[in-house]
Amino acid sequence: MAGVAGSERYLESILPALKARGIEISFLIIQHPKNETANIDFINHLRTNNVTVHIFNSYFSVSIWTIWKIARLIRAESFDILYSNLIYPDFMAAVVKKFFIPNLALLSVKHGYDEKFQTKFGLNPLKLRISIFSMITKWSALSANKVICISKSLENFFHTGGLIDPQKLITIPYGFNFSSIHLDPKTQDFRYGDQQIIVTGRLEEVKQHYLLLESLPELLQDFPKLSVLMVGDGTLASSLKALGEKLGVDKNIQWLGFQDNVHNFIKASDIMVIPSSAEGFGLVVLESWFHAKPVIAFDVPAINEIIEHEKDGLLIQPFSKPALIQAIKRLLLDKEKLSEYGKAGQIKQHTIYDIDNMTSNTLSILRALHQNPSLDNSA
């Protein structure tokens, strides 16, 4: 683990919720020693919510020593179910089950696929080729009893791509309750322009921030006091900032880096823009809807599962800058639609993508794996 992204926010949400439902649940963090500081808030959040946290420091993503320690921990604590997230934990969990504890129930959660693949091909299973990532995914899934996908698009990808037995797959979308989020009453302190767009996400190739940057010169002709908030950090930070300067739009961009709480910035903005080439789900959609803010995104999986075009946001032609410019102009000029789409999304977030639905569906899987409706033991 190296800080908090979408999958970690899922864990911050689901683990305390399962604990509140009576599950004896513990979480194991496997981290490089250099990431101890980045993970401390996540650890404290879980512990504050009565989730036991075990920590293994390792200089390697996978090691025999770590796998042996995982098996030893499971035996010592008499865990019944191993609940893994992301590719390397999935692999180590499969090794533990296959070679150390064969009767262990194994539940895997898929939040996406190889980022390089997603950047180039989205979630198109027809583009799959044999790779180390695909082989690890397929081998690990052989040992899993059940595999949760956070979107139907992901489920279809793993099924159609032949990576996971369809009988093992089930979709449980993200669900969150943001009501406990701290909001600063001084919303104006997070407002930088007459109109404000926000983009939240790691500054990586798959997120395609450059498409919005390259659209700004034309947008600024109509909205000279437009402000764009870029929330997130990543390997492309320097090159994206340089692009903004080259285009002459840097004065209209606020590079805010990683933020523990993005909600103050979302609440103060008009529109969330998601220029990604693909998303396993799209947590930022739910964060935006919580504040009744509409979302503009490309019509790609799995974003197009969540957003209903012209009902709670706009889905536009993939990777078209003219379409992106037109959509942004349309909403900034139409305050009625801006409000209508945002409120429709807010209702959907509260009724469909809420923590109770996600927790109940996950609990059903755990009970089925344990074959005991009371599920009095540990996960």
- Burial group, residue 113, by CB count within 10 angstroms (0-12, 13-18, 19+): buried
Name which of 271, 272, 241 is nearest 255 in CA terms: 241
Q: Does the pLDDT value for residue 27 go beyond 70?
A: yes
Q: Are residues 306 and 324 in the same domain?
A: yes
Summarised one tens digit per residue, pLDDT across range 270-307 is 999 999 998 998 899 999 999 999 999 999 999 999 99
Q: How confident is the model over 8-21, as a mean pLDDT?
A: 93
The mean of the pLDDT values for the chain is 94
- Residue 182 domain-assigned (yes or no): no
Q: Are residues 313 and 268 in the same domain?
A: yes
Summarised one tens digit per residue, pLDDT across range 184-221 is 999 999 999 999 999 999 999 999 999 999 999 999 99
DSSP string, 123-145: T-GGG----HHHHHHHHHHHH-S
Query: What pLDDT is recorded for position 342?
Result: 97
Q: Are residues 308 and 342 in the same domain?
A: yes
> Sign of torsion, CA 13 234 259 316?
negative
Q: Does the pLDDT value for residue 7 go beyond 90?
A: no
- Residue 345 domain-assigned (yes or no): yes
Summarised one tens digit per residue, pLDDT across range 333-376 is 999 999 999 999 999 999 999 999 999 999 999 999 987 534 44
Q: Are residues 276 and 169 in the same domain?
A: no
Q: Are residues 314 and 259 in the same domain?
A: yes
Q: Are residues 300 and 335 in the same domain?
A: yes
Q: In Å, how far from its chain's centre is CA 335?
A: 29
Give the amino acid at 357.
N
CA-CA distance, 320 to 333, in Å (whole number)? Answer: 20
Q: Are residues 198 and 143 in the same domain?
A: no
Pair 70, 28: CB distance under 8 Å:
yes
Range of the domain at 321: 187-351
CA-CA distance, 101 to 186, in Å (whole number)? Answer: 54
Q: Are residues 205 and 149 in the same domain?
A: no
Q: Are residues 270 and 309 in the same domain?
A: yes
49 — phi, psi (to 5°)? -95, 25
- Residue 65 domain-assigned (yes or no): yes
- Residue 376 domain-assigned (yes or no): no
- Residue 104 domain-assigned (yes or no): yes
Q: Does the pLDDT value for residue 328 go beyond 90?
A: yes
Q: Are residues 31 and 173 in the same domain?
A: yes
Contacts of 21-25 spanning 24+ positions with Cβ under 8 A: 21/359, 21/363, 22/375, 23/363, 23/366, 23/375, 23/378, 23/379, 24/376, 24/377, 24/378, 24/379, 25/51, 25/52, 25/83, 25/378, 25/379
DSSP string, 79-111: -SEEEEESHHHHHHHHHHHHHT-TT-EEEEEE-
- Residue 375 domain-assigned (yes or no): no
CA-CA distance, 56 to 106, in Å (whole number)? Answer: 20
User: What CATH code is carried by the domain that includes residue 290?
Assistant: 3.40.50.2000
- What is the domain count for the chain? 2
Q: Are residues 154 and 248 in the same domain?
A: no
Query: What pLDDT is recorded for position 372?
Result: 54
Q: How confident is the model over 27-31, as a mean pLDDT?
A: 95
Summarised one tens digit per residue, pLDDT across range 225-268 is 999 999 999 999 999 999 999 999 999 999 999 898 899 999 99
Q: How confident is the model over 94-111, as a mean pLDDT?
A: 96
- Residue 94 domain-assigned (yes or no): yes
Pair 218, 324: CB distance under 8 Å:
no
For residue 329, the surrounding DSSP H or E stretch is helix 321-333
CA-CA distance, 184 to 230, in Å (whole number)? Answer: 19
Query: pTM for the whole thing?
Result: 0.89
- Residue 379 domain-assigned (yes or no): no
Q: Are residues 131 and 279 in the same domain?
A: no
List C-alpha distances in Å: 255 to 199, 203, 236, 331: 10, 11, 12, 23
